[in-house]
Every structure is written in C-alpha cells, then in structure tokens.
Amino acid sequence: MAIKNNILSQEEYEHNFSDIHPPFERLSSALVEANRCLFCYDAPCTNACPTSIDVPQFIKQIVSRNEKGSAKTIFDSNIFGAGCSRVCPVEKLCEGACVFNLLDEPPIPIAKLQRYSTEKAIAGKWDLYLRKKSIGKKVAIVGAGPAGLSCAHGLSLEGIDVTIFEKNPRGGGLMTYGVAAYKVTPEFCQDEIDWITSIGGIEIKYNSMLGRDFTLESLKTNYDAIFLAIGVGVTRELDIPGEELEGVVDAINFIHGIRSMKYSEIQIGDKVAVIGMGMTAIDAATQSKRLGAKEVNLIYRRTEKEKPCTDAELELARLDGCNIIWLASPAEIIGENGKVTGIKCNKLSLVEPDSSGRAAPKLTGETFTLSADMIIKATGQLPFSDLLEIEKIEHSKGKINTFDNQKTNLSGVFAGGDCVNGGEEVVNAVQDGKIGALSILKYLCC
C-alpha cells in the first residue's frame, strides 16, 4: 500500500515539528517589544480578548521587571494564559486589534510577550494563588479540557472541593490531543495542567466517562453542582460513496495520533486530500506535509473570502506547500482493493449568501478527480447529541443551551466550552469555565 510510516529521519521530524513561534530568548529582546506598547486606555487588545486579559498592564509589568505581577495579571483573567500564548489565533484577537495596525506598523507581539511572562511562572512553579480553606462543598466537572480545568481552578480557589471526570487517560482535552504539534508539546500541556491543579482541591479521575461509567443522576446525588465541559466529538461523516475505504481517516483521530504516538509510527499517505478549510483542516494538512506527504490538497466548498480559518493559518498551509482547491466538494472516494486511490469532486460556483451569511456554493455539473492514497475528513466536529438526549439536557443541534452565565435547563448543572459553542478556541473555553465557576459559586451561595 502507498500509505507509509517512518518516511522521514528523526532529525527531519524534529525540525518539522519544532516550535512554530519561538519564544524570546532573553529579557532584552522582550523589552524592545514591551517598550513599544503604548499602554492604551480601555485597550482594544484587551477588548478583543475573550478572557479580557489586561494586556497593557502585563506588558508594563515586564518593563518594570515585576515578573510575578505580570504573570498574575495574565492568569487572573486566563488560567491557561501560557497555553493560549501559543495556540490563540491572535491575528484575529488581541494582536489583530492592536492600534499599531492602524498605523500600518506591526502590532505588539502580545502572544510572545505573554509566553515570556507565563512560561517563567510555570517553569518556576510560582505559587501565585493560595486556595481558601475547604468550605465542605463539592462540585463535579465532566471533561478535563480547558473549560473544565478553568472552572476547576476558579472553584477550588474559593474552597470548593472539585472532582473532574475525564474519559481520556490524560487531561487537557483538545489542547493535549487536538492542537497542532508545532504549537504545544505533550510535556508542555502536562506541565500546564500540573501547575493549574497545584493549588490543591482538584482531583482528576481519568478513564471515567459520562454515559459509560456513570450518569448525571449519580453525580447529582454526590455533588452540590455539576459543570459539563465535554467538548465535541469526531468529525461528521461526508455521506458519500467510498467513505469506508482504507485510507479515509477522521482529522480528529489523525491528529490525536500525532499527539499521542511517535511521529515515525504515524501512517501518512504520499498524496493526501484534506476536506475542509477550518483550523482542523489546516492543521491536518500542514502536519501531513510535515510528516512527509509529498502532495497535500486542501479542498473547500467556497472561496478564500468565505474561508473559516484565518489568513495566517491559510498562509501557513501555503508555506508548507499545500495546494488549495477552492469551490469543490467531494462527490465520491475512489478505490481499488479496498484502498483509496483518488477522490472525485464536484466543481461549484457561489450564489447569494445562505443562512450563515456566507455565499452559498452551487453545483456546476462539472467534476474532476484527484489521485490520492489518503483522505482526511475535517468538515466540522460532531457534538455528543445522543448523550445530551439521554441526560435530558436541552441543546440546539448538539450545542448545549445555556443562559444566565452558563446555566443549563437542569438546576445545578452548568456547561461551557466547545460543548456549548460548538467548537471555538481554547480561549473561549477558558472564559466559559471562568464564568461557570463564578456562576456556580453564586448558586452555592458562597
């Protein structure tokens, strides 16, 4: 078969998966940039951050050499400040709003500065937080991803005893198993989780899954409140012929493999076609290239204007040598002897905006075929609708309905993160966890 592993040498893997945005090596370099910051009032960068990090404040604290203060400013708003500094799509958040853009000057490298401040805190195991004495109340959190851990930290700080139930053997959620390997390493994710839980009062029960090992009902009897942070699941089916062929993989599983195996053990095709143009599609495409695929085609239904990924992400895929095919949708996966040999696509054109506000693609009747030995499906993740139905949690197409600060329809049950928003960024999940914790504290009258 064409699908191989161990295409590259160890050195090549290391080079391809090294840190995509290297940190400041020294204080002097950080200071050059930190000093450019204008210290804006009601700063646009802060307003553009879903967790409202006081960016000018933490940057000025780098300048004044108040390093602990700087880290604390970040963590007070976002306990995943270290992880977010590496994974946030800052070009559409803080850095995208930096006023220097309006002068056509490069924005302040906020993420890099944030990494500078937070990395020291984690490496140095700074105890920036002191947990209040236990007040004898217990909260269960389902899912140890960014949303769950953020909520846990907020609650434990106030003296709540938190138990997190996590189906995987490791925490971090998609931060650990989803985000591209050249952004964060598994060690980094573990250090971040260890640092967050180091305040105490947070127990994580791994390999325990809601719906399989326990029910919401059982949690309700043992805990004063519940926070659901289960994220979203695997990629939705394409519903086209040939999907069962060997060589057709789900992007989430593919990336999960990259994050949990040696690079040399991962199977990768010579010619890879990736369906979709979201962040997951880009990550699957770039990492395919970096694993040694000779040709990678990204296939998307609409045009560059409507693409869900950011310009920076698309640019990365292009730089990595991926081909971009606009206005095409998969019609059939072609195979021989049960294995993928190609993909037939419909050519599309755009008509008036659909309900999502983007121009709707329409069949032109023409088709084309690409040869491929691996197809990666990255057309959006499927929420855990069945589980929600069973547990009687109200939802809209699998997204849990919340109101009034992360409350669900069930009393004492709160939710946040991807399972509510359908799949956004780590920073949104962290914010939901933070707000969820405050909301639960209010509910518990403490």
Partner 1 sequence: MTNIENNFLGIKSPNPFWLASAPPTDKKINVTRAFEAGWGGVVWKTLGDQVKNVSSRYAALNHDGQRMVGLNNIELISDRPLEINLKEIKEIIREWPDRAVIASLMANTDRKSWHELIKRVQDTGCHGFELNFGCPHGMTERGMGAVVGQDPEIAKMVVEWVMEVAQIPVITKLTPNVHSVVPTAKAVVEAGTNGLSLINTIQSLMGVDLDTLIPYPNVGGQTAFGGYCGPAVKPIALKMLTTIGQNEMMKNIPVSGIGGISTWKDAVEFMLMGAGNVQVCTAVMKHGFKIINDLCGGLNNWMDEKGFATLEDFRGLSLNKVTHWEALDLNYHIVARIDQDKCIHCGLCYISCEDAAHQSISITKGIPYNKYMIKENECVGCNLCKLVCPVEDCISMIEQRKGDEYLNWHEFVRRGLPLNDH
By a kind-dependent CB cut-off of 5 to 8 A, residue 255 interacts, out of partner 1, ligand FAD, none, with ligand FAD
| Cβ atoms of residues 145 and 228 within 8 Å | no
Q: Which is nearer to partner 1, 44 or 308 (CB)?
A: 44
Question: Any contact of residue 48 with partner 1 (CB under 8 A)?
Answer: yes
Question: Any contact of residue 130 with partner 1 (CB under 8 A)?
Answer: no
Question: Any contact of residue 97 with partner 1 (CB under 8 A)?
Answer: yes
Question: Any contact of residue 44 with partner 1 (CB under 8 A)?
Answer: yes
Q: Which is nearer to partner 1, 44 or 159 (CB)?
A: 44
How is the beta sheet containing 225-228 ordered, strand by strand? 202-205, 161-165, 138-142, 225-228, 413-415
By a kind-dependent CB cut-off of 5 to 8 A, residue 425 interacts, out of partner 1, ligand FAD, none, with ligand FAD
The two tokens of residue 219 are 């949690």
The one among 3, 8, 99, 128 contacting partner 1 by CB under 8 A: 99
3-class DSSP state of 193: helix
Give strand ranges (E) for 251-396.
271-275, 295-299, 323-325, 328-336, 339-353, 359-371, 374-377, 395-396
3-class DSSP state of 306: helix
Give strand ranges (E) for 217-266.
225-228, 248-250
Piece in contact with partner 1 (CB under 8 A), picked from 31-39, 73-81, 215-223, 401-409: 31-39
Q: Which residues form the interface with ligand FAD (CB under 6 A)? A: 87-88, 142-148, 165-168, 173-175, 178-179, 183, 209-211, 229-231, 252, 255, 279-280, 283, 417-418, 423-427, 429
Q: What is the dihedral of CA 173, 179, 182, 188, to 10 degrees?
A: -20
The one among 10, 18, 35, 222 contacting partner 1 by CB under 8 A: 35
By a kind-dependent CB cut-off of 5 to 8 A, residue 247 interacts, out of ligand FAD, partner 1, none, with none
Residue 152 to residue 154: CA distance in whole angstroms: 6
Question: Any contact of residue 27 with partner 1 (CB under 8 A)?
Answer: no
Question: Any contact of residue 42 with partner 1 (CB under 8 A)?
Answer: yes
Question: Any contact of residue 106 with partner 1 (CB under 8 A)?
Answer: no
Q: Which is nearer to ligand FAD, 68 or 92 (CB)?
A: 92
CA distances from 210 to 129, 161, 181, 408 (A): 31, 19, 28, 17
Q: Which is nearer to partner 1, 100 or 214 (CB)?
A: 100
Residues 6+ apart with CB under 8 A from 340: 242, 245, 246, 247, 248, 269, 333, 334, 372, 373, 374, 375
Q: Least distance from C-beta 63 to partner 1, angstroms?
A: 7
By a kind-dependent CB cut-off of 5 to 8 A, residue 292 interacts, out of ligand FAD, partner 1, none, with none
The two tokens of residue 8 are 């590259």
Instruction: Using alpha carbons, select from 164, 165, 191 the residue that is nearest to residue 83.
Output: 191
For the chain, the distance separating the N- and C-terminal CA atoms, rounded to the nearest angstrom, is 61
Residue 442 to residue 405: CA distance in whole angstroms: 10
By a kind-dependent CB cut-off of 5 to 8 A, residue 291 interacts, out of ligand FAD, partner 1, none, with none
Q: Which is nearer to partner 1, 32 or 390 (CB)?
A: 32
Question: Any contact of residue 108 with partner 1 (CB under 8 A)?
Answer: no
Q: Least distance from C-beta 21 to partner 1, angstroms?
A: 22
Burial classification of residue 287, based on how many CB atoms lie within 10 Å of its CB (0-12 exposed, 13-18 middle, 19 or more buried):
buried
Question: Any contact of residue 40 with partner 1 (CB under 8 A)?
Answer: yes
Burial classification of residue 361, based on how many CB atoms lie within 10 Å of its CB (0-12 exposed, 13-18 middle, 19 or more buried):
buried
Q: Which is nearer to ligand FAD, 39 or 206 (CB)?
A: 206
Question: Any contact of residue 299 with partner 1 (CB under 8 A)?
Answer: no
Q: Binding residues for partner 1, how many (CB under 8 A)?
A: 21
By a kind-dependent CB cut-off of 5 to 8 A, residue 99 interacts, out of ligand FAD, partner 1, none, with partner 1
Q: Which is nearer to ligand FAD, 306 or 313 (CB)?
A: 313
Residue 184 to residue 101: CA distance in whole angstroms: 27
Element (H, E) at 172: none
Q: Least distance from C-beta 58 to partner 1, angstroms?
A: 16
Question: Any contact of residue 100 with partner 1 (CB under 8 A)?
Answer: yes
Site for partner 1 in 57-76 (CB under 8 A): 63
By a kind-dependent CB cut-off of 5 to 8 A, residue 403 interacts, out of partner 1, ligand FAD, none, with none
Q: Which residues bind partner 1 (CB under 8 A)?
A: 31-32, 34-36, 38-45, 47-48, 63, 97, 99-100, 102-103
